[in-house]
């Protein structure tokens, strides 16, 4: 099928979300809660694009192309919404890059720098999280302060990962009884290095 990205015609299969089609066509679409071939629920909203026909913003990771649709990929309006989504996440982030072991492989930090996002747009930063890193199993660790609750580990774990609480209080819980089986590949999905191999 044909779609139009920034008014340029693209031939797409229609079987993959817009984010994959647009990236393959060379567009730089950021994402945090999405990984190709992994189960995800659109939650970070940093991948937004605009449906130029209906003037609706939509997460490109959770939207499939339809014949003839026109997508505004990266206008000022789109970029500003993406930045705001990022700033919302940062406003509740309880780790500090200066003392964080994830620094060089953290997609949240990389995006914040690249998109010139303000950490304090929605008020002063919360105090750093005092929770200690949790040993999951073997060389796998979980550091709650770095978690942005993207859900990738929860939705792709066969080991009982779950969310507890709601809103800003929501946190990942790894049940004791399932820790011995946890798949280390989950660390590769984690966008901040909250799950990491030591």
Looking up tokens 């984010």, which residue turns up?
Answer: 19
Closer to ligand FES by CB, 80 or 181: give it: 80
Read off the DSSP letter of residue 180: G
How far is residue 41's CA from residue 152's CA, in Å, rounded to a whole number?
Answer: 8
Q: Which stretch binds ligand SF4 (CB under 6 A): 55-63, 71-79, 124-132, 144-152?
A: 144-152
In total, the chain counts a number of residues equal to 198
- 93, interface contact from ligand FES, ligand SF4, none, CB < 5-8 Å by kind: ligand SF4
Binding mask of the shown chain, residues 89 to 128, with x at each position contacting ligand SF4 by CB under 6 A: ----x-xxx--x-xx--x-xx-------------------
| Residue 107, phi then psi, degrees to nearest 5 | -70, -30
Closer to ligand SF4 by CB, 27 or 161: give it: 161
Closer to ligand FES by CB, 5 or 136: give it: 5
The strand ranges marked E within 18-60 are: 48-51, 56-59
Q: How far is CA 98 from CA 44, 102, 104, 169, in A?
A: 23, 10, 11, 24
* Interface residue list for ligand FES (CB under 6 A): 31-34, 42-47, 59, 61
Closer to ligand SF4 by CB, 78 or 111: give it: 111
Q: Please report whether residue 150 would count as binding ligand SF4 according to CB under 6 A.
A: yes
Evaluate the CA torsion angle 2, 71, 85, 119 in order and state its sign.
positive
How far is residue 101's CA from residue 142's CA, in Å, rounded to a whole number?
Answer: 12
How far is residue 185's CA from residue 195's CA, in Å, rounded to a whole number?
Answer: 10
Looking up tokens 């089609």, which residue turns up?
Answer: 21
* 4 closest CA partner among 58, 50, 48, 61: 50
Closer to ligand FES by CB, 22 or 140: give it: 22
Closer to ligand SF4 by CB, 19 or 150: give it: 150
- 91, interface contact from ligand FES, ligand SF4, none, CB < 5-8 Å by kind: none
Name the minimum Å distance from CB 82 to ligand FES.
10
Name the minimum Å distance from CB 47 to ligand FES.
3
Binding residues for ligand SF4, per CB under 6 A?
93, 95-97, 100, 102-103, 106, 108-109, 146-154, 172, 189-195
């Amino acid at each position: 099928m044909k779609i139009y990205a920034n008014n340029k015609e693209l031939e797409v299969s229609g079987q993959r979300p817009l984010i994959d089609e647009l990236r393959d066509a060379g567009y730089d679409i950021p994402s945090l809660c999405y990984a190709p071939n992994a189960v995800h629920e659109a939650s970070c909203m940093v991948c937004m694009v605009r449906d130029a026909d209906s003037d609706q913003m939509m997460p490109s990771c959770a939207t499939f192309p339809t014949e003839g649709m026109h997508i505004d990929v990266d206008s000022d309006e789109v970029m500003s919404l993406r930045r705001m989504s990022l700033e919302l996440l940062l406003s509740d982030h309880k780790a500090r890059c200066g003392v964080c072991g994830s620094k060089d492989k953290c997609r949240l930090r990389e995006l914040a720098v690249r998109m010139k996002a303000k950490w304090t747009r929605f008020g002063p930063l919360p105090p750093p999280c005092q929770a200690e890193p949790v040993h999951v199993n073997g060389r796998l660790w979980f550091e709650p302060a770095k978690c942005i609750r993207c859900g990738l580990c929860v939705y792709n774990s066969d080991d009982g990962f779950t969310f507890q609480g709601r809103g800003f209080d929501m946190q990942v819980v790894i049940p004791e009884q399932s820790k011995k089986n946890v798949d280390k590949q989950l660390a590769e999905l984690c966008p901040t290095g909250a799950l990491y191999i030591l």
